[in-house]
């Protein structure tokens, strides 16, 4: 029932780019000094993340070429970066893509928020933080008990863990922890 995904297909999907890209929402803080000398500080959420950079939704605009500091407080990550793309997504919503400067890389291994992530579909089924499972709406929804994830309100089975992979109760692959 719970068939392992072919490792070759898995590696091919993960390595189709020079670096793996995870489409996950990570809370970040961006700061810099603007050309007019004013301090800029905004909090946003990533659209996607890779070891060398990320795409971030921010309420305030930044210009391409701006040098910023990226901080992910929950992961203890901080790195200087340069804005390589900046686009307005509508009123009070901007998407910026940053590339980390120097040799600094973002590593999911140190993250306190572990997503159940399927790289073949670039989707996540939820995440674990502090021993609690949170759904797509960021609501506390379950907890790990042995090889199962059970609901917080009644203990019913939600998912099954086999090795480092998670499956729904019908045996469909949901993802691996990243």
Compute the Cα dihedral for 150, 155, 158, 161 and give only its sign. Answer: positive
* Residue 42 belongs to domain with CATH number: 2.40.10.220
Domain range enclosing 79: 27-106
Residues 97, 117 within the same domain: no
Residues 40, 89 within the same domain: yes
Q: What is the pLDDT of residue 109?
A: 87
pLDDT, average across residues 16-32? 89
pLDDT digits (tens, 9 = 90+) for 112-170: 999 999 999 999 999 999 999 999 999 999 999 999 999 999 889 999 999 989 999 99
Q: What is the pLDDT of residue 7?
A: 41
Residues, the chain: 178
> Global pTM?
0.81
5 — pLDDT class (breaks 50, 70, 90) = very low
Strand partners, 150: 143, 157
Task: Give kind and range of the element (H or E) at residue 12.
Answer: helix 7-14
């Amino acid at each position: 029932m719970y068939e392992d995904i072919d490792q070759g297909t898995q590696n091919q999907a993960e390595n189709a780019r020079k670096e793996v890209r995870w489409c996950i929402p990570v809370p970040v803080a961006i700061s810099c000094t603007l050309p007019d000398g004013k301090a800029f500080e905004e909090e946003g959420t990533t659209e996607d993340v890779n070891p060398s950079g990320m795409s971030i939704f921010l309420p305030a605009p930044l210009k391409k070429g701006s040098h910023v500091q990226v901080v992910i407080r929950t992961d203890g990550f901080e790195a200087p970066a340069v804005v390589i793309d900046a686009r307005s997504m509508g009123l009070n919503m901007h998407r910026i893509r940053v590339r980390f400067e120097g040799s600094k890389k973002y590593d999911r291994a140190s993250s306190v928020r572990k997503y159940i992530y399927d790289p073949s579909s670039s989707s996540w089924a939820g995440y674990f933080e502090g021993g609690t499972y949170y759904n797509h709406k960021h609501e506390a929804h379950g907890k790990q008990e042995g090889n199962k994830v059970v609901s917080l309100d009644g203990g019913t089975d939600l998912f099954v863990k086999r090795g480092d992979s998670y499956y729904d109760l019908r045996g469909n692959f949901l993802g691996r922890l990243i």
